[in-house]
């Protein structure tokens, strides 16, 4: 009997607990449903915001690409503008130089015109004087050339006279006289040098032959032509065989 009572009590207690649990769950269901709906709404809002953000990101990327293209175009235009500016500056400098030159030429022409007017001469008289001046210059050049020829002849005569008056007198040659051997004949011991009467060579003058700064031989001029001379090697002065290209200089330079 006691066992039955215990079982009944336990059953009643279980039923009471179930009823209590059911009541508690029933009270929580609306809250859970509301929480579920809120979460669903929040998820929908979040998805909407994400979609909007993605659209904004795509638009931003497009704007960025467009901005970068505009920047590249702007840089290209800037480079073109800089190149054009430099070209214009160079052109301006050239024009400035040309203007300065033209101005100088104008001033020179004005000065020449002023000088011409100051002479009081007519154009025909100026042309005639200019022609006479040119002719005079030609005559002066011819006279200078004749004087040079005559001076060379005088130097040669002086050298011969010195040889007759004093056989031991050395013939002086121009101190700056320089030349080279162009022909060598070792059999007859004579050489041809590339300097002659026009350069101031005098017959019987003596030349030193050198190579790389070292003395090779001494020669004496036997024949003088316009621009070359023939010389014989002086016995006892041949330290080595002269060759083409050896340099020659006065053995007795004039002071």
Within-domain flag for 255:
no
Please determine, for residue 221, whether its predicted confidence score (pLDDT) is greater than 90: yes
Q: Which helix (H) or strand (E) holds 250?
A: strand 247-250
- Give CA–CA dist 25/204, Å, rounded: 149
pLDDT tens-digit map of 32-75: 677 777 777 777 777 888 888 888 788 888 888 887 888 788 77
Which CATH number fits the domain that encloses residue 210? 2.40.10.340
Query: Between residues 112 and 199, which one has the greater pLDDT?
Result: 199
Please determine, for residue 169, whether its predicted confidence score (pLDDT) is greater than 80: no
**What's the structural domain count of the chain?**
3
The residue whose two tokens read 């704007």 is 63
Residues 72 and 135 in one domain: no
Residues 207 and 217 in one domain: yes
Residues 85 and 190 in one domain: no
- Summarize the confidence of residues 13-18 as an average pLDDT: 62
Q: What are phi and psi of 245, to 5 degrees?
A: 100, -15
Residues 164 and 193 in one domain: no
Domain assignment of residue 221, given as a range: 172-250
Sequential DSSP letters for 25-58: HHHHHHHHHHHHHHHHHHHHHHHHHHHHHHHHHH
* Per-residue model confidence (pLDDT) at position 67: 79
**pTM greater than 0.85 (yes/no):** no
* Per-residue model confidence (pLDDT) at position 62: 81
Most confident stretch, 57-66, 74-83, 163-172: 57-66
Query: Between residues 109 and 75, which one has the greater pLDDT?
Result: 75
Residues 17 and 129 in one domain: no
Within-domain flag for 94:
yes
- Summarize the confidence of residues 162-167 as an average pLDDT: 54
- Summarize the confidence of residues 215-239 as an average pLDDT: 93
Residues 129 and 25 in one domain: no
Residues 127 and 152 in one domain: yes
pLDDT tens-digit map of 173-199: 889 999 999 999 988 999 999 999 889
- Give CA–CA dist 102/167, Å, rounded: 67
Residues 6 and 52 in one domain: yes
Share of the chain above pLDDT 70, in %: 71
- Summarize the confidence of residues 207-224 as an average pLDDT: 94
């Amino acid at each position: 009997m006691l066992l039955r009572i215990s079982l009944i009590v336990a059953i009643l207690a279980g039923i009471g607990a179930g009823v209590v649990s059911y009541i508690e769950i029933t009270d929580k269901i609306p809250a859970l449903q509301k929480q579920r709906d809120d979460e669903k709404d929040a998820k929908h809002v979040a998805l909407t915001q994400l979609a909007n953000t993605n659209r904004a990101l795509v638009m931003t990327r497009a704007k960025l690409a467009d901005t970068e293209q505009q920047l590249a175009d702007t840089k290209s235009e800037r480079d073109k503008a800089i190149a054009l500016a430099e070209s214009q500056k160079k052109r301006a400098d050239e024009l400035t130089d040309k203007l300065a030159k033209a101005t100088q030429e104008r001033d020179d022409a004005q000065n020449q015109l002023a000088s011409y007017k100051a002479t009081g001469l007519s154009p025909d008289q100026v042309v005639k004087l200019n022609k006479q001046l040119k002719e005079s210059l030609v005559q002066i050049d011819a006279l200078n050339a004749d004087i040079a020829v005559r001076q060379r002849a005088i130097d040669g005569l002086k050298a011969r006279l010195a040889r007759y008056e004093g056989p031991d007198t050395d013939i002086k040659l121009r101190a700056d006289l320089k030349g080279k051997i162009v022909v060598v004949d070792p059999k007859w011991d004579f050489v041809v040098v590339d300097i002659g009467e026009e350069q101031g060579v005098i017959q019987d003058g003596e030349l030193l032959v050198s190579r790389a700064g070292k003395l090779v031989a001494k020669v004496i001029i036997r024949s003088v032509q316009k621009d070359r001379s023939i010389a014989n090697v002086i016995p006892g002065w041949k330290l080595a065989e002269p060759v083409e290209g050896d340099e020659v200089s006065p053995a007795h330079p004039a002071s």
